[in-house]
Amino acid sequence: MDKIKVIFDVTIIANVRNNIKSGIFSVARALLIEFMQKEEIELKLFCRENDRDLVLKNLKTYANAHNLPCEFESDIVLPAPFYKRLAKKFLSLLPQSFAHRLTILIKEFISKDKNLNSMCTEKNIKKISNDEFFFSPIFAVPYKYRNINNCIFIHDTIPLIFTEYKNSPDNAWFFELCKSLGTDDICFANSAYTKADFLKHLPHLKPENIIVTPLACDERFKPANADEIARARKKYNIPENKKYIFSLCTLEPRKNLIRAVKCFANFISKNNIDDLVFVLGGAHWDAFIEKLENEIGSLDENIKSKILKIGYVDDSDQAALYSGALFFVYTSAYEGFGLPPLEAMSCGTPVITSNNSSLPEVVGQAAIMIDYDDDEAHIKAYESYYYNENLRQENSKKGLERAKLFSWEKCADIMITEMKRRAGL
């Protein structure tokens, strides 16, 4: 069997610390596991993280991929080994996005050439055959691989749309990615909306080179039993005698949580409801959590006590918290894909979500969809689920069926099929 050679960038998997993982981590991990199972792939790894012990530990823990050959980035060229080690140590102490950008600036200075593309020449990059590909789940392809088949998973254009993201130094990697994307690169877009957005903002890209590749969710997302739900409720201090609405996402402005919470307050006040709480799960932005706290602090004490911020939710508890919820709320202002609604549907949880960006592609007709900025629509949606058990059961069944359309195997197969086509196999 003819095989394609794939170099997989595992940086987002390998540099996890304190078991805190992002949505992109989940995507990269799932795809790596799928790629490892494909007989038509000869797989190698690439990593920008310099702590080799951490890399091997995380690759073993999260993907059982520690035995695969792995190349580490070594971009800096300094006159003596001592200074090289010292520079790497210094860079390892910095935030990843800043460290990577600083590496670029050092290379520019050393080469006395401001044109980054000039570093990708036949002189310092080995020519690789047409059946070899570099696959990145998120970051720009390293310079040494820019003249081979490049495959990049593109997720959204949030930093180009929202000011608070555009001005954040944490998003430097995104603008580096945009600058690096070439007309011949293969881009796998997580939704048709993301494809359209990239073509809008980066018109030099070719539509035929952007392949829509829907995401999926882990197999652990399935309806939990009563004991699992009870354990999760106890762990996160959700009152046993209350129903709960659930939200799981990073607490940040784009997620529209202040409106969702204030509409919840109006909903329970209007209907004199005392048996329902709103559970907010997920890590947070420090600046945004202060604003959210101020908004919640202005509410009536009785209502305030019904809004529970439970923080980061462990992977092993997520399905149980989805399953135990009366319904799930995710009325984001913008999503490149929107994994949490798919996870909720996979657990049989009725969903309320926005009708914008990629979210209709995810939920289809299996959820209540509303305008993200419409307060009355929020309240009406809450009322529809709270008072109508038949609707909850109907959308629970629809959600379970809808979720079956998405799988990581399908996602990986789309990618591999395109790579094989490019390789002429």
Q: Report the amino acid identity of residue 158.
A: I
Q: Tokens 């959204």: give the residue.
A: 156
Q: Do domains 4-216+408-423 and 226-403 have the same CATH topology?
A: yes
Q: What is the pLDDT of residue 369?
A: 98
Taking a C-beta distance cutoff of 8 angstroms, is the pair 31, 158 a contact? no
Between CA 334 and CA 159 the distance in angstroms is: 11
Cβ-Cβ contacts under 8 Å for 422 (sequence gap 6 or more): 130, 133, 149, 186
Burial letters 134-159, b for 16+ CB under 10 A, else e: bbbbbbbbbbbbbbbbbbbbbbbbbb
Average pLDDT over residues 193-202: 96
Evaluate if residue 75 carries a pLDDT over 60: no
Backbone angles phi, psi at 255, to 5 degrees: -80, -5
Q: What is the pLDDT of residue 124?
A: 41
The CATH code of the domain at 226-403 is 3.40.50.2000
Give pLDDT tens digits for 357-384.
999 999 999 999 999 999 999 999 999 9
Backbone angles phi, psi at 317, to 5 degrees: -105, -10
Neighbour tally for 127: CB within 10 Å = 8
Picking from 345, 341, 344, the residue whose alpha carbon sits closest to that of residue 332 is 341
The first and second tokens of residue 243, run together, are: 């129903």
Q: What is the pLDDT of residue 289?
A: 63
Domain boundaries in the chain? 4-216+408-423, 226-403
Between CA 349 and CA 319 the distance in angstroms is: 10
* Cα 351 to Cα 230, 245, 397, 420, distances in angstroms: 21, 10, 11, 38
Lowest average pLDDT, out of 38-42, 168-172, 244-248, 414-418, goes to 168-172
Taking a C-beta distance cutoff of 8 angstroms, is the pair 168, 95 a contact? no
Pick 4-216+408-423's CATH classification: 1.10.1130, 3.40.50, 4.10.830, 1.20.272. Answer: 3.40.50
Give pLDDT tens digits for 327-348.
999 999 999 999 999 999 999 9
Cβ-Cβ contacts under 8 Å for 389 (sequence gap 6 or more): none
DSSP letters spanning 90-124? HHHTS-HHHHHHHHHHHHHHHHT---GGGG--TTT
Helices 257-270 and 286-297: crossing angle, nearest 10°? 20
More confident residue, 351 or 85: 351
Give pLDDT tens digits for 89-132.
565 666 655 555 565 555 444 433 333 333 333 334 444 567 89
Q: Nearest-5° angle of CA 9, CA 13, CA 16?
A: 140
Q: What is the pLDDT of residue 127?
A: 45
Between CA 141 and CA 288 the distance in angstroms is: 32
Q: What is the pLDDT of residue 310?
A: 92
Q: What is the pLDDT of residue 111?
A: 39
Q: What is the pLDDT of residue 297?
A: 67
Q: What is the pLDDT of residue 113?
A: 36
Taking a C-beta distance cutoff of 8 angstroms, is the pair 148, 132 a contact? yes
Give pLDDT tens digits for 12-29.
999 888 877 788 999 999
